[in-house]
Amino acid sequence: MKINGNAVRPGNVIEHKDGLWVAVKIQHTQPGKGGAYLQVELKNLRNGSKLNERFRASETVEKVRLEQAEYQFLFADGEMLTFMNNTSYEQIELNAEMVGEQRPFLQDGMEVTIESYDDSPLRVELPETVTLEITETEPTVKGQTATSSFKPAMLENGVRVMVPQFVSTGERIVVNTEDASYSKRAE
d(CA 103, CA 143): 37
Mean per-residue pLDDT, 121-142 = 86
User: Can you identify the CATH homologous superfamily of domain 129-185?
Assistant: Nucleic acid-binding proteins (2.40.50.140)
pLDDT at residue number 142: 64
* Extents of the domains making up the chain: 2-63, 67-125, 129-185
Mean pLDDT for 143-159 is: 78
Name the helix (H) or strand (E) containing 20: strand 19-29
pLDDT of residue 112: 94
2-63 and 67-125 share one CATH topology?
no
79 DSSP β-pair partners: none
The CATH class that applies to domain 2-63 reads mainly beta
Per-residue pLDDT tens digits for 91-100: 999 988 888 8
Nearest-angstrom CA–CA distance, 133 and 186: 9
| pTM score over 0.85 | no
Q: Which fold has domain 67-125?
A: OB fold (Dihydrolipoamide Acetyltransferase, E2P) (2.40.50)
| CB-based contacts of 131, cutoff 8 Å, min separation 6 | 172, 173, 174, 175, 186
Which letter, b or e, does each residue of 125-157 get, where b requires 16 or more Cβ atoms within 10 Å of its Cβ?
ebeebbebebeebeeeeeeeeeeeeebebebee
Q: In whole angstroms, what separates CA 15 from the centre of its chain? A: 20
